[in-house]
Amino acid sequence: MTDTTEGTRLRADAQRNLERIVAAAHEVFAEHGPDVPMEEIARAAGVGVGTLYRRFPDRESLIRAVGINAFQRVLDNTRTIIRDNSDPWRALTAMALSTADLQVALQLSMLSPRARVIITRDPETGKIRDELMDILDSLVDAAQRNGSMRTDVSSRDVAVLLSLVRRGLHGLPEDLMRSAPPRFLTIMLDGLRAGADTPLPGRPVTQADLDFLRRSDQATG
């Protein structure tokens, strides 16, 4: 085997290991959040801990890689949903009910203060996240204008609600663990429909509120 062939094989092996690690971390983060031991991620990927640390020398670099991967997949899926659904309420519902990729994106951007700081500081992830929020703004605005969604909620209310429902319910029987997120998301979506006439206490969540949360994370991180 020539040196060139050997080098090509080693690069291909390294790329496969990187992809396996990111895919495994994606699944582990979706279920348990981003603070699980690195050894558990290596075990899930089927690689040694040394291999994991050669590709990702610290947790921050792994969170950043998983974040970029998850946000991009959510963005691609959302674009497909909008292309296939001209009705904004139907598109919003399909987006909310999408599964693992959205779960990871919310775990990293809303539920983990440590990961939120990392994601906020990363310009590539931030660009994708901002585009997703622009899409959510548009969907909520369009659904409210066509009369399918109540008008006293904001798109940031929807983002926070999604993060709360997607937080997960650990310790339940396995069948409930699988069915709980779509069940509770459906209940949440029914509450967002136009025609719900129970007055809402407080005020809508704004982008300034979410920015305040991120600044608080950075100050304590």
Q: Are residues 16 and 117 in the same domain?
A: no
In whole angstroms, give the CA distance from residue 114 to residue 67: 13
Q: List the domain range (segments joined by +) for residue 146.
A: 59-220
Q: Are 76 and 107 in contact (CB under 8 A)?
A: no
Residues 53 and 97 placed together within one structural domain of the fold:
no
> Does residue 24 sit in the same domain as residue 84?
no
**Same domain for 72 and 145:** yes
At 99 the pLDDT is 67
Same-domain check for residues 13 and 113: no
DSSP 112-144: -HHHHHHHHH-HHHHHHHHHHHHHHHHHHHHHH
Q: How far apart are CA 142 and CA 137, in angstroms?
A: 9
pLDDT of residue 15: 87
Total structural domains in the chain?
A: 2
Cβ–Cβ < 8 Å for 163, 106: yes
Residues 94 and 16 in one domain: no
> How is residue 156 written in tokens?
């940031």
Same domain, 214 and 174: yes
CATH of the domain at 97: 1.10.357.10
Query: Cα separation of 155 and 80, whole Å?
Result: 20
Closest CA to 162 of 214, 211, 209, 92: 92
- The answer to whether the beta carbons of residues 75 and 131 sit under 8 Å apart is yes
CA-CA distances (angstroms) from residue 154 to 86, 93, 122, 143, 209? 21, 15, 26, 11, 12
Report the pLDDT value the prediction gives residue 177, as an integer from 0 to 100.
64
Q: Are residues 147 and 199 in the same domain?
A: yes
Q: Domain end: 24, 41, 57, which one?
A: 57
The pLDDT value given to residue 168: 59
129 and 201: one domain?
yes
77 and 185 in one domain? yes
What is the predicted pLDDT for the residue at 109? 78
Question: Which residues of the chain are under the pLDDT cut of 70?
Answer: 1-10, 99-100, 167-174, 176-178, 197, 217-221
Distance in angstroms (rounded) separating the CA atoms of residues 141 and 136: 8
What pLDDT is stored for residue 20 in this prediction? 93
pLDDT at position 46, please? Answer: 94
Q: Are 18 and 109 part of one and the same domain?
A: no
Selection from 163, 159, 144, 166 nearest residue 207 by Cα: 159
Q: Which two tokens stand for residue 75?
A: 């963005």
Q: Are 145 and 192 contained in the same domain? A: yes
In tens, the pLDDT along 137-183 reads 999 999 999 999 999 999 999 988 888 877 655 556 667 666 777 78
CATH of the domain at 7: 1.10.10.60
